[in-house]
Structure 1
Amino acid sequence: MSPPSFSPLETAEQKAYPFAILLVQQEAETRHLLQHHLNPLCAFLETAINIQVAEALRKRYHFDLIVIELEEKSPDTGINWLHHLREQGINTAVIFTTANTSVELALRALRLGAVDFFIQPFGMAQIVAAVQRNLQHQSMQRENYLLRRQAEDFYRLEGILGQSEKIKQLCQVIRRIAPTPSTILIEGETGTGKELVARAIHQLSQRTGAFVAVNCGAISNELLESELFGHLRGAFTNAHQHREGLFHYAQQGTLFLDEIGEMPLAMQTKLLRTLEHKTIRPVGADQEIPVNTRIIAATNRRLIEAVKTGQFREDLFYRLNILTLTVPPLRERLEDLALLARYFSETLASQLGVAQLPLSYQDMAKLQQYHWPGNVRELKNIIERSLLLGKLPDDCFLESQSITPSPSIVTAAKTVFNDEYQAHEMPLSELEKSYLTWMLSRCQGNKSEAARRLGISRKTLDRKLQVDK
């Protein structure tokens, strides 16, 4: 795998920053010494012996950073020059060095936006570190700006971000189909952003009603019909009053049926009738009610396989499968990783009230090399954890890597359980159930968390744990 293009580098030996520096230093020996140390850090460096020469060079070239020595006899000259630059709207970063210990002088410089102020004698390493720090900051600002420009076309699609070819194609299809009333099926692994795609379709559909989402795998079979269609008072035990269903609240809008593959067969039959006749019948009602609701369904598994095993109605599948959108997993769109990481860092930092996360070249390389079983949702969680800790934790991927089976189920079993048994002596169904039970114990019995880590729904986990019980 090739390294990512993200490139604020950490040392001068790796590569120069693509910036220009102007060094203003009167004393020749110090000027040459600074030039020697700063030259490897940038693509272009010019020197000047005084402010007059510096101003002439500034008018001729663009500089990203100016390192100025304030003359001992007339320190105001450099400060006044900076004030003159700021009045012209020139915000070039400036670092001052001086033998003058006046606190007032330092405060004037900092008020004018100087990024650093060093009083002689100072170590050369201090100046080099300050220059590196500022150039890295500017490099990150430049890349953030470029990434925003490249991705600004996708910000309008309700949070869908990306510049990879797969995301561009997905967004093009969304724009084309959004104004139509057609039913849409969205497929993709857990955490890829299927609900974001559904919301983007609704946002661009110009439908006047609301976007209503429901997870079909999170509601019991008994309650799902009432949740979708509503019920009359007395329709069943504890039905003490009339209640409208989600179809009612999504009138003229969009109803998003997440985890449609977990819907029980009896409910699939009623949903098929609704799609065909554009009507619903609340539980306990005799009359059908017309509805004008667009259906968008989503699944983290291939429904055609569920059809073959009899777990999903074939006629409903073809009714939903008018157009299928596939949301790519993060490992297939690594070009978007830097953009997504920065977006989450920016938005989550604002929500949490903490500083944004500076991601180094090494951090981005680590993110690029990870296989992301939890996709964009996992990336968001890792960035949030990193923001809270102030850095990308060294062990942030270890747990997910250890719980992901390798292509060989025997190897995976030995790695996960760390038992000295012969895996071929255990039936596959028992091995799967043992793995699920082990994962549940890792999550202290939290089934929702275990299902999230396994990439399946809570309902699927319950069903698999019940097999042959």
Structure 2
Amino acid sequence: MTDGPSATDASVATSDPWLAKAQILVVDDEPGMRNFLVRTLAPRCARVEAVGDTSAAGRLIEASSFDLIILDNILGGRTGLSWLADLRRDGLFTEVILITAFADLETAIEAVRAGAADFVLKPFRTKQILNAVVRCLDRSALRRENFVLRRQLAPPDRSQAAERIVGTSAQMVRTRDLVARAAATRSTVLVTGESGTAKEVTARALHELSAFADRPFVPVNCGAIAADIIESELFGHVKGAFTSAASSREGLFFYAQGGTLFLDEIAELPLALQAKLLRVIEDRKVRPVGSDREIPIDVRLIAATNADLAERVAGGQFRADLYYRLDVVRIHLPPLRERVEDIEPLARMFMDQLSAQLGLPPLPIPLSVLQRFEAYPWPGNARELRNRIERALILGTFGEPDSGPTAEPRTDDLAEVEKRHILRVLAASEGNRAEAARRLGVSRKTLDRKCAEWNV
């Protein structure tokens, strides 16, 4: 016999942070049970929907996302278990609590095999169902957090992201203002700038300053994932979708649910996948590889590139329609050589951070070193400056003038300036011409021709 919520039962879940934000779907053909569950959950959750059959439930699932489904096993013409098995085959990985008045060991085993997260026997008390709901939501949140940690997607100081947009230049003042404005929306943001200009730091700041900062931030390097598996990585796949798909798997969009997905090096996304990403942005749904079902998502998208996307569009390497959908709010990060006044605060920030991380006493940065830093063009931008500070900390000295960044003779010869810049980037890429060409935004063929001209 079910009962209404009591003051004691209410204390079960009021302190759980995930329950207050949860969106829950109840599927039960008994009006009394639906009403009881709605009365119990609605005051404690962000949203509760209740329907009497799987057809209505299917329409709701196709229209919006849910964090949890409470599913009755006996539903008129079919069982909840068979419907759950269909959902899992279609790539829907939402947590499910199965409730039933007729339970035995075989049913419990079938529930686990079908993918149910918990099993509650009718009749149950308010405290029982609330505990089951909280367990499922906490387990889901923990699974996502563990996934992120395993992939090392979140640095230990990510909560400090907003403060790491360092600089006193007019460009960085404008950047911080634009980040603050864009963070207040769910609009798609395109972050542009050369390699090493802190595009991921900017993306994290957008997330940390938003109203959903406690939700996941999942960065993805599109250039680091093989073209034949990136669709599965992003959207997930169902069992048997391809030869090695021995089981179903959630995609990165799933792990970013409610939060932010950061697509770095978006220009490296294969053309075929660009079309699918465009559809995701327009429809707010993803289709796991091998599935016939589209799953609603609630994800804020931030993309970044060091390439000229307009040029890529003109060359047929990037879809124009996707470019315009990504370029809703653009944040351009200028190279370090164009904001010399930011070099000193960045150097001092890196010195403080790295000395603490390495357990080494910070080094004073003499005026002579700062002058050399300010005269150097920093082809690797802030990342190169950080590496320079780290090396100095480890060695205990900034070295002689010829052992680090130094001022080079100024020249008005454009060809000489181009040669020096290309050779610096090639050196920073450790001789990897493909990587250097990517950083420079030119083709490998162009870089090979230049090197041949200079007998490099």
Common fold by TM > 0.5: yes
CA contact (8 A) 1:193 1:376 kept: yes
Equivalent of residue 455 in structure 1, options 424, 439, 443: 439
Q: 1:178 and 2:209 equivalent? A: no
Structure 2 counterpart SS, 1:231: coil
What is the CA–CA distance in structure 1 between the aligned matches of 2:207 and 2:274, rounded to whole Å?
23
Q: Which residue of 2 aligns with 1:130?
A: none
Alpha carbons of structure 1 residues 401 and 185: separation in structure 2 relative to 1, 3 Å: farther
8 Å CA contact 2:264–2:305 kept in 1: the answer is yes
Q: Return the alpha-carbon distance in structure 2 between the equivalents of residues 322 and 210 of structure 1.
A: 22
Match of 1:395 in 2: 402
Q: Is the 8 A contact 1:159 1:196 kept in 2?
A: yes
Q: Does residue 201 of the first structure (1) align with residue 206 of the second (2)?
A: yes
Partner SS for 2:386: helix
Q: Deviations over 1:288-314 (max 9, x none)?
A: 000000100001022111111111000
2:362 corresponds to: 356
Residue from 302, 305, 317 that aligns with 1:296: 302
Change (3 A) 1:389 1:353: same
**1:39-61 CA-partner distances (Å, limit 9, x unpaired):** xxxxxxxxxxxxxxxxxxxxxxx
Work out whether 1:168 is the aligned partner of 2:152.
no
Kindly tell me the number of residue pairs found equivalent between the two proteins.
288
Aligned position for 1:256: 262
The answer to whether the aligner puts 1:188 opposite 2:172 as a matched pair is no
Structure 2 SS opposite 1:205: coil
Structure 1: give runs of 5+ residues left out of the alignment: 1-153, 417-431
Q: Which AA in structure 1 matches 2:173? A: K
Deviations 1:177-230 (A, max 9, x none): 102110000110000000111000000111142000001111111111011001
Letter in 1 for 2:282: E
RMSD: 3.4
8 Å CA contact 1:158–1:199 kept in 2: the answer is no
State which of 214, 225, 241 in structure 1 corresponds to 2:247. 241
SS at match of 2:162: coil
1:367 paired to 2:351: no
Taking the aligned partners of 2:440 and 2:245, their CA distance within structure 1 comes to 32
In the alignment, which residue of structure 2 is the partner of 1:345? 351
Letter in 2 for 1:266: A
C-alpha change, 1:253 and 1:440, in structure 2 (3 Å) is same
- Matching of residue 321 in structure 1 with residue 327 in structure 2: yes
Asked if structure 1 preserves the Cα contact closer than 8 Å seen for 2:237 and 2:250, the reply is: yes
Aligned match of 2:313: 307
User: Structure 1: how far apart are the matches of 2:370 and 2:304?
Assistant: 31
SS in 1 for 2:201: helix
Instruction: Return the alpha-carbon distance in structure 1 between the equivalents of residues 243 and 306 of structure 2.
Output: 34
Identity among equivalent pairs (%): 46
Please give the per-residue CA displacement for 1:139-179, whole angstroms capped at 9, x wherever unaligned: xxxxxxxxxxxxxxx96715211121111111111111102
User: How far apart are residue 409 of structure 1 and its match?
Assistant: 4.5
CA contact (8 A) 2:380 2:428 kept: no
After TM superposition, give the deviation of residue 397 of structure 1 in Å.
Answer: 3.9
Partner of residue 224, structure 1: 230
TM-score by length of 1: 0.56
Aligned partner of 2:164 in structure 1 is: 159
Q: Unaligned regions of 5+ residues in structure 2, if any?
A: 1-158, 449-456
Q: Verify the 8 A CA contact 2:239 2:245 in the aligned structure 1.
A: yes
C-alpha displacement of 1:455: 2.4
Query: 1:440 and 1:217 mapped to 2: Cα distance?
Result: 21
Instruction: Kindly provide the amino acid, as one letter, of the partner of residue 388 in structure 2.
Output: I
Kindly provide the amino acid, as one letter, of the partner of residue 402 in structure 2.
D
* TM-score between the two structures when normalised by the length of structure 2: 0.57
Quick one: distance in 1 between partners of 2:446 and 2:236?
Answer: 27
